[in-house]
Each structure stands twice: as structure tokens, then as C-alpha cells.
């Protein structure tokens, strides 16, 4: 989803009454970011509280490339990383992931090996259908074992867009909440739905109900489900004891627009880019009785903060043996404080941009290559800012492009290099960047090697279902990341 996909964030169809209500009852974050313009690294950052360049969810195969965890990826979340659920266990939490994991599908990366107690969902994106020869269909797991595959046992009709997956995820969530409420055990639910990721889908009852086409149908179903989850918490009487946060892992994918792509509101470009459209996210915190209703925060937030904030809520300290990038948002949420902190915009191994206050400095600009662009892959359809949405990797490290995101949220008007404002703002940012780079210890890159042999041929449990497939011989290669 993109920043502009919710009514509360100005989507012109205003079709998200439940999320809008969640915002009205909670706190709306207008300056909230993800840690990466792509899925897997963002999710790894959320669960580790660390930038992908630290936790290993990046590639060094080429400069400034977005990488993720397709089926042939060899890497995944390193054992050395401490995930939020692992830490929450120490405070007696039971942890469940529903939906897309995306931190590696090989056995050592299984979410139940990294702190989760339960899982219903898939390790990779719901792409397909595949032929189970060149590519196996993506498995859907319940806990340790697969219980079927997408397009076989969990249908997605690519013609109509019909799939009941969000309903399954919703029911799983409600059941899990019921169970924990009965057992009185504190819980962490990571509800990682993916209906707005192409191929976009919605249940029959939502198909055709949105002004926005299939994408809007998917948004409406997610919105409806979130309303049901929040009301469920209230009905069970545990809403004042349950902190809920809604956000997204990257900006709307404009390459999928208009049929399968969402809206980044007034921001530039979308998913895959380090412009605001790629990384600024809708975000709402909800905790009745604690968060004052109708709050609006301009705190620069990041999905990594959910790691630190969740630990704080559980009375735990973040690990002290490593750099944690997330900050504790509770003073922001509960006392309306504003914490001065930068936002780093990485693309793979490169720090592309930095936001400090209302200023954003671009050290590198790139949308995608002329070659890709010429073939119709456009991360900024209808948008073109000369010298900014460049199709070659442009280095600006000596004279960064500087934007004032208050006057110019769309990153269309770079400040004059000669202006006093430029000098003043850049001086401050340069110091922050220098300190960041000097102290950065990059993690071992996990997204460099691909191998067809590691695909989901025979996930655990496949025997029981008669769904084991024969893997080809191992042939590890450098993954190719074109953008």
C-alpha cells in the first residue's frame, strides 16, 4: 500500500472507513517511513529494528540494487539477528505470524526458528501460477509444515482477481486473539497480509465494490478486516491492553498502476525508489485509553521503531550488543513528544538519501535504467523531474540535491546550491551522514546468491500431501538485480 491509499491520507475515493476510524481513535503518523523501498528488506528491518545494510537484507552484486527473497534465493535472516518475537518470548509473549514471511524460505530461516510460535502463510510472494517444473508453486504453511500450495489448494483467480486469502488471514487472526485471551497470555500478532501486492486479489464479496477497481477492492477488504479485528479486541475487553499499529512495507507499486497499483498521494514515484513515494508510508497507532483520540504526529518514524517500541511495551530493553536503528515511539505516542532523528533511504548497499527535519538530501538519484525504462518498466509513471528521476545512477555526494519536504513534498524543486538555506541545512545533514557512515558495520549480504535447487520443491510436510517435487541440481549463481 501507499501513503495515499487511505481516506485519512487523502485518497479521493475515501473507501477506508475502518482505517480512518482507527486514525480518529488513535494517532495518525504523517511522516512515517519504511526502511527500504522493497518488501523483504523492510520486513527484516521491522523484525530486527535494524537497517537492511546491517541485518544482511541487501546485495552487493551491483551498486544500489533492490533485492528481495524470490524462490531461488539462497540467503535469509541470519541466526545472529535477534528478531522481535525471540525477544518478546522472554517476557512471556506468544507470537504468531499470519501471512507473508519473506525472510527466507529455506529450513534454517523458518519463522518458528526465529521466535514465532505459530505461522499461517507463505514464505514468498504469491506470484504464480507456476508449472511446478521450472518453478514450483509457493507453499502455504501452517506452523512447521506446508498445507498446500497457491493456485492449487489456495486459489487465486488471475482473471477475476478472486481469492479468499484475506478472509483466511482474518479468521486466523480472530482465532489467535480468542485463544490468547482465553489463556491470558500476552501475544504478538504480526498480521502480514498481501492482497494489495500484484497479483492483487479480493474475496468475492468485495469484488467490484470499489471505485478504484480490483486494487481498491483489495484495500476495502483489508480495511474491513482491520475493522473486524479492532472491534474483536474491543468486544473481548482487551483493546485497552493491546497496542495496534498499521503500516506498509513500501510505497505503492506504480509499475502495477492503474489496475493493480495504489497511490502515493502527492509524493514522487513509488516502490523501488528512494523518493518519498517509495518509502513514506501510511501509519496509524491505536491503543484506546492510552493514545489520545485524533492525534496527529509529525515524528519521523520508521518501521524499525516498531521493534523498539514493542520491546518497550513489553518492558524489555533492546539488545545492547549491536546497533539498533529503531527508536522507542512511546514518548511520541503517549506524551506527544518529538524526537530528533534522521531517516536513511537505502537502495541495496548505497545510502541514496537522508531526511533530517523537513530537509531531504539526495546523495544518489536513480529511478531505473534506460534499458528497463525503454521496455516499459516505469517506477514514476506520469512524473518526471529533470535531474531527479534519473535513468542513470547520478552521484550527488559532493553537492547533494536538497528538498524542503514541507514546501515541496513532491521533490520537484531542488533548493538552489547557492542559497543560505541550502548551506545551513546541508551542514547539519552532512554531519549526520558522516557519523552514520563512519560507524556503519555492514552485515554479511544475504541476497547475493541464487540457486534453482533451493526453491520450494519439497517443503516440510510435502510428503503427507503428495506435493513433493524434484529439485534440479544445485547451480548457485550471483542473483541478477536489475534495479
| Residue-by-residue DSSP string for 139-180 | EEEETTEEEEEBTTTB---TTT-B--HHHHHHHHHHHHHHHH
Measure the CA–CA gap between 381 and 258, rounded to whole angstroms: 10
Cα 78 from chain centroid (whole Å): 19
- H or E element, residue 462: helix 462-465
Extract the C-alpha cell encoding 328: 522507542
Q: Cα torsion at 457, 461, 464, 468 (round to 10°)?
A: 10
Of 140-148, 205-213, 449-457, 463-471: span binding its own copies (CB under 8 A): 205-213
For residue 17, how many C-alpha atoms fall within 13 Å in the half-sphere facing its CB? 3
394 binds its own copies (CB under 8 A): no
Residues 268, 311, 332, 354: which binds its own copies (CB under 8 A)? 268
Select 48 or 383, whichever has its Cβ closest to its own copies: 383
Among 1, 84, 13, 10, which Cα is nearest to 50's? 84
Identified binder of its own copies from the candidate list 80, 108, 211, 474, rule CB under 8 A: 211
Interacting residue with its own copies among 75, 85, 265, 443 (CB under 8 A): 265
Residues belonging to the chain? 483
Cβ closest to its own copies, residue 80 vs residue 211: 211
Bridge partners of residue 146, in order along the sequence? 141
Q: Is 367 in the site for its own copies (CB under 8 A)?
A: no
Query: For residue 288, which phi and psi values (nearest 5 degrees)?
Result: -55, 140
Find the catalytic residue in 63, 102, 110, 398. 102
Closest separation in Å from C-beta 211 to its own copies: 3
Pairing of strands 350-356, 343-347: antiparallel
Site for its own copies in 6-25 (CB under 8 A): 7, 9-14
Tell me if 195 contacts its own copies by CB under 8 A.
Answer: no
Which residues in 290-309 contact its own copies (CB under 8 A)?
A: 296, 298
Query: d(Cα 64, Cα 273) in Å, to the nearest integer?
Result: 10
What distance in Å separates the CA atoms of residue 40 and residue 383, rounded to the nearest whole number?
Answer: 26
295: three-class secondary structure by DSSP: strand
Give how far Cα 211 sits from Cα of 15, 71, 208, 262, 277, Å: 8, 34, 8, 12, 22
Output the smallest distance, CB 457 to its own copies, in A: 38
Residue 31 C-beta: closest distance to its own copies, Å = 8
Q: Is 213 in the site for its own copies (CB under 8 A)?
A: yes
The verdict on 368 binding its own copies (CB under 8 A) reads no
95 binds its own copies (CB under 8 A): no
Please select the residue that binds its own copies; options are 406, 431, 472, 482, rule is CB under 8 A.
Answer: 406
Q: Is 39 a catalytic residue?
A: yes
| Binding of its own copies by 4 (CB under 8 A) | yes
Q: What grid cell was written down for 117?
A: 510460535
As a whole number of angstroms, the distance between CA 342 and CA 340 comes to 7
Measured from the CB atom, the residue of 20 and 117 that comes closer to its own copies is 20
**Does 216 contact its own copies by CB under 8 A?**
yes
Is 102 an active-site residue?
A: yes
**According to CB under 8 A, which one of 208, 292, 381, 387 is a site residue for its own copies?**
381
Please name which of 356, 361, 478 lies closest in space to residue 415, comparing C-alpha atoms: 361
Q: What angle do CA 407, 14, 274 make, to 5 degrees?
A: 45
Of the residues 228, 412, 428, 436, which one makes contact with its own copies according to CB under 8 A: 412
Q: Does residue 376 belong to the site contacting its own copies (CB under 8 A)?
A: no
For the bound state, the minimum distance from the C-beta of residue 266 to its own copies, rounded and expressed in Å, comes to 6
The answer to whether 250 is a known ligand-binding residue is yes
Specify the stretch interacting with its own copies by CB under 8 A; choose among 53-61, 106-114, 208-216, 443-451: 208-216
In the block, residue with C-alpha cell 507499486: 253
Binding site for its own copies (CB under 8 A): 3-4, 7, 9-14, 28, 30-31, 210-213, 215-216, 257-259, 263, 265-266, 268, 296, 298, 358, 381-385, 404-413
Q: What residues act catalytically?
A: 39, 102
Binding-site residue positions: 39, 249-250
Binding-site residue positions for Ca(2+): 39, 249-250
Amino acid at each position: 500500500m501507499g501513503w495515499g491509499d487511505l481516506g485519512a491520507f487523502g485518497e479521493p475515493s475515501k473507501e477506508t472507513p475502518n482505517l480512518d476510524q482507527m486514525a480518529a481513535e488513535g494517532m495518525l503518523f504523517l511522516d512515517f517511513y519504511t526502511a527500504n523501498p522493497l518488501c523483504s528488506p523492510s520486513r527484516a528491518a521491522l523484525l530486527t529494528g535494524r537497517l537492511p545494510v546491517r541485518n544482511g537484507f541487501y546485495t552487493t552484486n551491483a551498486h544500489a540494487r533492490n533485492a528481495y527473497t524470490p524462490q531461488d534465493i539462497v540467503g535469509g535472516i541470519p541466526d545472529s539477528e535477534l528478531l522481535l518475537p525471540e525477544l518478546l518470548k522472554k517476557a512471556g509473549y506468544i507470537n504468531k505470524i499470519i501471512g507473508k514471511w519473506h525472510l527466507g524460505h529455506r529450513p534454517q530461516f523458518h519463522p518458528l526458528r526465529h521466535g514465532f510460535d505459530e505461522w499461517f502463510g507463505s514464505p514468498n510472494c504469491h506470484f504464480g501460477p507456476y508449472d511446478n517444473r521450472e518453478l514450483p508453486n509457493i507453499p502455504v504453511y501452517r506452523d512447521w509444515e506446508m498445507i498446500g500450495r497457491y493456485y492449487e489448494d489456495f486459489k487465486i483467480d488471475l482473471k477475476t482477481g478472486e481469492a479468499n486469502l484475506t478472509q483466511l488471514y482474518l479468521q486466523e487472526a480472530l482465532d489467535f486473539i480468542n485463544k490468547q485471551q482465553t489463556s491470558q497470555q500476552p501475544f504478538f500478532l504480526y498480521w502480514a497480509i498481501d492482497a494489495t501486492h500484484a497479483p492483487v486479489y479480493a474475496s468475492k464479496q468485495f469484488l467490484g465494490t470499489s471505485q478504484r477497481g480490483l486494487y481498491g477492492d483489495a484495500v476495502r477488504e483489508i480495511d474491513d478486516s482491520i475493522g473486524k479485528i479492532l472491534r474483536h479486541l474491543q468486544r473481548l475487553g482487551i483493546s485497552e491492553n493491546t497496542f495496534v499499529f498499521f503500516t506498509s512495507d513500501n510505497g505503492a507499486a506504480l509499475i502495477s498502476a492503474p489496475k493493480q497499483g495504489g497511490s502515493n498521494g502527492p509524493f514522487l514515484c513509488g516502490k523501488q525508489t528512494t523518493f518519498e513515494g517509495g518509502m513514506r508510508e501510511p501509519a496509524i497507532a491505536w491503543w484506546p485509553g492510552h493514545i489520545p483520540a485524533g492525534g496527529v504526529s509529525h515524528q519521523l518514524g520508521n518501521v524499525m521503531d516498531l521493534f523498539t517500541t514493542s520491546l518497550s511495551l513489553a518492558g524489555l530493553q533492546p539488545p545492547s550488543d549491536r546497533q539498533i536503528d529503531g527508536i522507542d515511539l512511546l514518548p511520541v505516542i503517549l506524551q506527544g513528544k518529538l524526537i530528533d532523528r534522521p531517516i536513511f533511504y537505502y537502495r541495496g548497499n548505497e545510502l541514496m538519501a537522508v531526511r533530517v527535519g523537513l530537509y531531504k538530501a539526495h546523495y544518489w538519484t536513480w529511478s531505473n535504467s534506460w534499458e528497463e525504462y525503454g521496455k516499459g518498466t516505469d517506477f514514476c509513471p506520469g512524473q518526471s523531474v529533470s535531474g531527479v528521476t534519473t535513468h542513470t545512477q547520478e552521484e550527488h555526494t559532493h553537492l547533494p540535491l536538497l528538498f524542503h519536504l514541507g514546501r515541496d513534498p513532491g521533490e520537484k524543486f531542488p533548493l538552489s546550491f547557492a542559497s543560505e538555506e541550502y548551506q545551513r541545512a546541508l551542514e547539519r545533514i552532512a554531519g549526520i551522514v558522516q557519523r552514520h557512515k563512519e560507524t556503519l558495520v555492514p552485515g554479511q549480504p544475504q541476497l547475493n546468491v541464487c540457486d534453482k535447487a533451493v526453491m520450494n520443491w519439497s517443503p516440510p510436510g510435502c510428503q503427507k500431501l503428495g506435493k513433493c517435487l524434484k529439485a534440479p541440481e544445485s547451480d548457485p549463481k550471483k542473483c541478477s538485480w536489475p534495479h
